[in-house]
Structure 1
């Protein structure tokens, strides 16, 4: 198949200068950190941002207004708003009081209080024992992001997995309640189809498409699922074929950009998952993403390549 690499008019460098890729009449952008300094004067740790989002979600779930929470805890309404937007640190005793009026008990309470105690820890990496907490934070950040760029060298990204493919991945993985995890994965994918959905670029190595996870029929279905996803106006799927030779791979990562907050990078490797939020780390992986996009087939040729791969699995 004749493929073409995108030119400089399609992809500009990610990092200080940002990324721009026009596909399906949609602008995909990873905003530069320097453009966000007017909104936030510091690099807010990912843990603090996740805790802020969790407290806001718990308040809404309890049907408690900002003013009512303020009155019952003694935290000013303005301070509470800043806490929920990660613009103000929160103390353990404040979170304890908030959880009490929100009716949060048991493990959920313990997990939230643990987040407070760890909020200033450098970096945020977890093993499989705390994966559920990491996934909950990722879902929150995905719902807030305006754009995401995901490089997947081994498996189809979770936001683009078919039910059968996701089930095969989970059956081979964590040994938990597969049915529950699968339902959660499918629900998470709604972020790409909601109103004001984020732009989403997936960069896939050909190995992802060659490996028949779940068998050839499941894989053929998964690739056709990808083709359908690529029809969404906010989704762009790009493939790096074997014939383009080798390249430096940092492993699976997602660059998440936000309207009023600094960029985060989510990394996913065997046995460890986490967020990088330092300016050096996010800029480095933005630059890597830009280079990978320049290596990959363009949007149109990527869909043609997917069609060819689906046919190959049908014949195998």
Structure 2
């Protein structure tokens, strides 16, 4: 059975590693300055140890982290063993670093897009179109689109995770950005479906109703328990309790039953593309 690893602890370990590297320090140098062992620093950065607030405060001082960033990370330490990790708008940016880390560390990712194509599969044009419906200004939208495109590199890296995306037909039929943008988006999905680690599964209208939990991503890791990311307008975050994980695993099994197979899904995408090209 996989060891349970709270979402905050996994994210904290990645944050501390990144900050040390940005400061240009080795674990040996940090251990010497703190008067502790290299093993202690390594275990902290590998999420094998829950550090104290005092330990992390010392690390942040060594790394030159101050102000709001210091407060945010120390709050993570204080809440590190709390179940789940939810944030309300406009604090979603606090979750983005963790989301990127989880995507890069996962060996398997399951994505469900009930109304829009998931971010890991969006084209730049489609991403710009859907972000225009929000409250961001142009510079914020471009930064978000750029970050989203950069995140997609995880799916084509040398050792890429297995990726399965379930897309409701509604996400494919709603013409965000117009016919040309959607045609390019469908072509991109068909292209992504050719990759050996990727699978696109479409849920057509004709298959009727099914349990729809909203947009989510489920991450599976090599030796630790899965984590689920849920995303909504008002609140988004990570679920790491066993009951929640089992619920979304059950949901995924249900999606597998109602979705078309891989080959049939690509054929379905081709028919939708033809509809957009005729428009």
CA offsets 1:248-297 (integer angstroms, 9 cap, x no match): 11111111000021111111122111111111111121111012112111
What TM-score, normalized to structure 1? 0.84
Aligned residue number for residue 13 of structure 2: 52
Aligned residue number for residue 65 of structure 1: 26
Matches for 1:111-126 after TM superposition, within 5 Å:
111-126=72-87
Aligned residue number for residue 304 of structure 1: 267
Aligned residue number for residue 201 of structure 2: 238
Identify which of 225, 229, 240 aligns with 1:266.
Answer: 229
Matches for 1:132-171 after TM superposition, within 5 Å:
132-171=93-132
Report the count of equivalent residues.
277
CA offsets 1:165-196 (integer angstroms, 9 cap, x no match): 00111121241411111111111111101110
CA offsets 1:51-98 (integer angstroms, 9 cap, x no match): 111111111222211111111112321121111121211111111111
Moved more, 107-116 or 50-59: 107-116
What TM-score, normalized to structure 2? 0.95
Aligned residue number for residue 74 of structure 1: 35
Identify which of 276, 301, 316 aligns with 2:239.
Answer: 276
For residue 151 of structure 1, report the CA deviation from its aligned partner: 1.2
Aligned equivalents of 2:217 and 2:141: distance in 1? 24
Larger helix percent: 2
Identify which of 46, 49, 68 aligns with 1:85.
Answer: 46
Q: CA RMSD in A?
A: 1.3
Ranked by relative contact order (alpha carbons within 8 Å, sequence separation 6 or more), the top structure is 1
* 1:212 counterpart = 2:175: yes
Aligned residue number for residue 315 of structure 1: 278
Aligned equivalents of 1:192 and 1:62: distance in 2? 29
For residue 152 of structure 1, report the CA deviation from its aligned partner: 1.1
Aligned equivalents of 1:157 and 1:169: distance in 2? 11
Aligned equivalents of 1:167 and 1:290: distance in 2? 32
Report if the CA contact (8 A) 2:113-2:166 is conserved: yes
SS of match in other structure, 1:90: coil
Report if the CA contact (8 A) 2:7-2:238 is conserved: yes
Moved more, 106-115 or 155-164: 106-115
Structure 1 residues 75 and 174: CA distance shift in structure 2, 3 A: farther
Aligned equivalents of 2:183 and 2:47: distance in 1? 43
SS of match in other structure, 2:202: strand
Aligned equivalents of 2:268 and 2:204: distance in 1? 9
For residue 161 of structure 1, report the CA deviation from its aligned partner: 0.2
SS of match in other structure, 1:134: helix
SS of match in other structure, 2:90: helix
Aligned residue number for residue 253 of structure 1: 216
Report if the CA contact (8 A) 2:83-2:240 is conserved: no
Aligned residue number for residue 21 of structure 1: none
Matches for 1:286-305 after TM superposition, within 5 Å:
286-305=249-268
Identify which of 140, 156, 160 aligns with 1:193.
Answer: 156
